[in-house]
Amino acid sequence: EIVLTQSPGSLSLSPGERVTLSCRASQSVSSRYLAWYQQKPGQAPRLLIYDASSRATGIPDRFSGSGSGTDFTLIISRLEPEDFAVYYCQQYGFSPYTFGQGTKLEI
Amino acid sequence: EVQLVESGGGLVQPGRSLRLSCTASGFSFDDFSMSWVRQAPGKGLEWVGFIRDKAYAETTEYAASVKGRFTISRDDSKSIAYLQMNSLKTEDTGVYYCSRRRRSGYIDYWGQGTLVTVSS
């Protein structure tokens, strides 16, 4: 099983700041098969990034993803108030298709 | 518009069974794999399993924590995916999300979830 470790666990920031979230895999993720999801309280997750760097439909360009192998990054270039949420990475290269434990962005 | 609506959640005693349904609309259901993901109260996301579409013989995969107890099936004529949960344990408590899985494996749409509480 591939274990995904996200860092930091939580982060306190202000609107307008730039943030970098990390997702590290215990072994190489096949074909950059890594996605990022955003979840707000009481809501279902929402797809942000797939295949490590492709933005999902309707996702603003302030969100970007990068990485390969075992190290992946989600960058939010300028935080908006609606971006404060929990962010999860997921690998879908090898079953079981594991999630990271999440990073909580707080104001 | 893609919509996924889960139903069937509720309170159930340990050792009993429950079946969740996921009714899909807004897309060609029979062309997509369907996944289930759960979230224990205050915890992160846990992949439960998925079922491929007919082109891939509707084969299934499961997380080790539910394999042998949970079964995913689908009825393409009704655009419904099911999660049959048997021998439920208290640690199965959580919100269960139905989701649409793209061919390469990522999830692009999620339902709003249904709460399952396993307690005596």
**Residue of A84, A75, A103, A86 whose CA lies nearest to A4:** A103
Chain A residues whose CB is inside 8 A of the B112 CB are 43-44
pLDDT at B34 over 80: yes
Chain B residues whose CB is inside 8 A of the A37 CB are 45, 107
Instruction: For chain B, list the strands marked E by DSSP.
Output: 3-7, 10-12, 18-25, 33-39, 45-51, 60-62, 70-75, 80-85, 94-101, 107-110, 114-118
pLDDT at A31 over 80: no
Q: Least CB-CB distance to B104: which of A33, A56, A99? A: A33
Mean pLDDT over residues A84-95, rounded? 96
Q: For chain A, first and last CA: distance in Å?
A: 34
- pLDDT at position A107 is 84
Give the model's confidence band at A32: pLDDT under 50 very low, under 70 low, under 90 confident, else very high.
Answer: confident
Among B27, B36, B45, B97, most A C-beta atoms within 10 A, so best to mutate, is B45
**pLDDT tens track for B37-57:** 999 999 999 999 999 999 999
Chain B residues whose CB is inside 8 A of the A99 CB are 37, 44-47
Query: Chain A window 14-33: which residues touch B at a Cβ cutoff of 8 Å?
Result: 31, 33
**pLDDT tens track for A43-80:** 999 999 999 999 999 999 999 999 999 999 999 999 99
**Tokens at residue B27, please?**
């897309």
**pLDDT tens track for B3-18:** 999 999 999 999 999 9
**pLDDT tens track for B89-102:** 999 999 999 999 99
Percent of chain A with pLDDT over 90: 95
Burial B87-109 (b: 16+ CB within 10 A, else e): ebeeebbbbbbbbbbbeebbbbb
- pLDDT at position B21 is 98
